[in-house]
Amino acid sequence: MPHNVAIVGGGLTEWGERDATWKDLAQEAGKATFNDVDGIEPEDVEGLFVGAVQPERFAFQSHVAPLVAELLGVEVNKMIARTELACASGQAALRYAWLAIAAGQLDVALVLGVEKMNIDREHMPEMQSNMTNVLDREFDGVNGLNGPSHFAQFAQRHMHEHGTTDEQLAMVSAKNKNHAAETDFAQYRKHVDVDDVLDSYPIAPPLRLLDCSGITDGAAGVLLVSEEKAEELDAETTAYVTGSGQSCMASNSINNLPSMTTWPQAGEASREAYEQAGIEDPLTDIDVAEVHDCFSISEIIEYEQLGFADEGEGGQFIEDGRSHLDGDVAVNPRGGLLGCGHPLGATGVCQALEVYRQFAGDVPNARQVPGDPETGLIHNLSGSGSVHSVMTLARDPQ
C-alpha cells in the first residue's frame, strides 16, 4: 500500500523586484522553511527537489539542486533533482517528492521553488525574450506570441463564443489583487476595484495591465513527510496529498492546441486527481483552490475545466461571487499570480503552502476562508497552456 504523505510546514521570501541573487532567494526560503517546522533540521532531509525554470538565462547558473543543497547545508543521501516544467515546475517538484515518499523511498523531502526573473533595466529586452522560451520559440516566438498576446487570443475567443465581458475579466483581477493587499509577501499590495482594472493600460486587447501577472523574483519551500513521520513530529497542522493529475495533449505549439476556449488537459488532470481523492463534486467537496491566474481569462476558463462551472459559464461564476471567500469555493485567497506575482518555479510550491496555512488558520482574517477549510486544490498550467497539473490536499489522511 502507498504511504500517506503530508506537508507539515514551509516558508517563503518576499516576492517582487528584489535586490537579491538567485542564491539569496534560495537561502531565504530554505531558512524560513526550516524555521517553520519543529523537529526537522537540514540533516534530516533525505530528498531535495528544486523547481526552477530558467536559472541558466536569468541567473547564469545550472545544476541548481546540488547548489541549493550546499547553500542550505543539506547532505542529500537518497534523492535529488531539479524539475523544469515551465510555470508548473514547482508543482512538478511537489509531485515527485510526494511519489517518492508514497513509494517508501523517503521519509522527509524538501521542495523548494526559486526564480530570479528581474535582472536590471538595461537587460529588459533579454528578460522579455526569455519568456518566449516556454513557447515554441522558433514558431510561436518569432511570430510575436508571448504570454499577453497568446492569452488575449483565449480571451477574445471566449468572449466571442460565450459572451464573457471585460467587466467579468476585471472582477477576477480585482478579487485577487484585493486578497494580495492582505498578503505580506505579495508583489502587489494595493486594493483595486473593477474600474481600476478597466482603466489600466491596454496590453493586448482585451487584456489590460492589471489583467496580467508580473515578472517576479521569489522563492518558497515546503517540507513533506510520511504519515508516520508526521505522527512522530506531532504536527499540529498537516496537509495530506490526496490526489494528483497531469495531462498534456501533444500540443506544445499554439498552432496545435485543441481549443482556444477550453483546456481539456485541465479537465483530464483534475478528473484523475479527483478520482484518487474520492472527490465526487468539486464545487461542494473543495473548500479552497489556488489556480493558475497568470491572466484574468485563465481563472475564468479554469472555473469551467476544474468542474466549478459549466463550459462558457466562468464569467457568470465570478460575477455571481461564487469564487469569493464566502462563495461556493474560495479561489486564490492569497491573491493568486495576479496579486502575488509569478516567480515561475516557486508558484506551485507557494500555492501548496497557502492551502496548508489556510488549514492552519495562519493567514490574516481578511483573507481567511471561513468555516475551517479542510480540503484544497492547487492547479498550474504551463507553456502555451498545453500542460495542466492538479493536486488535491486534505487536512486529514484518507
C-alpha cell belonging to residue 280: 465526487
Same topology for domains 5-121+215-239 and 143-212+242-394, yes or no? yes
pLDDT at 1: 58
Phi first, then psi, for residue 358 (nearest 5°) are -65, -40
pLDDT at 337: 98
pLDDT at 121: 61
Active site residues: 87, 342
Q: Which residues of the chain have pLDDT under 70?
A: 1, 120-124, 250
Q: What is the pTM of this model?
A: 0.97
pLDDT at 238: 98
Domain boundaries, the chain: 5-121+215-239, 143-212+242-394
Helix (H) / strand (E) element for 114: namely strand 108-115
Contact status, residue 241 vs residue 391, Cβ threshold 8 Å = yes
User: Which of 104, 113, 337, 125 is closest to 227 using CA atoms?
Assistant: 104
Is domain 143-212+242-394 classified as CATH 2.40.128.30? Answer: no
pLDDT at 131: 75
- Let me know how long the chain is: 398
pLDDT at 101: 98
SS3 211: helix
Is domain 5-121+215-239 classified as CATH 3.20.20.70? Answer: no
Q: Give DSSP secondary structure letters for 40-74.
A: --GGG--EEEEE-S-HHHHTS---HHHHHHHHHT-
Q: Give DSSP secondary structure letters for 332-356.
A: -TT-HHHHH---HHHHHHHHHHHHH
**Cα gap 261→276, rounded to integer Å:** 27
pLDDT at 119: 78
pLDDT at 20: 97
**Cα gap 315→320, rounded to integer Å:** 9
Q: Write out pLDDT tens, residues 178-200.
A: 999 999 999 999 999 999 999 99
pLDDT at 123: 64
User: Which of 30, 241, 225, 231 is closest to 108 using CA atoms?
Assistant: 225
Contact status, residue 380 vs residue 348, Cβ threshold 8 Å = yes
**Cα gap 47→81, rounded to integer Å:** 8
Instruction: Enumerate the H helices of the chain as residue ranges.
Output: 22-36, 55-58, 64-72, 89-102, 124-131, 147-162, 166-180, 194-199, 227-233, 264-277, 282-285, 296-305, 314-319, 336-340, 344-360
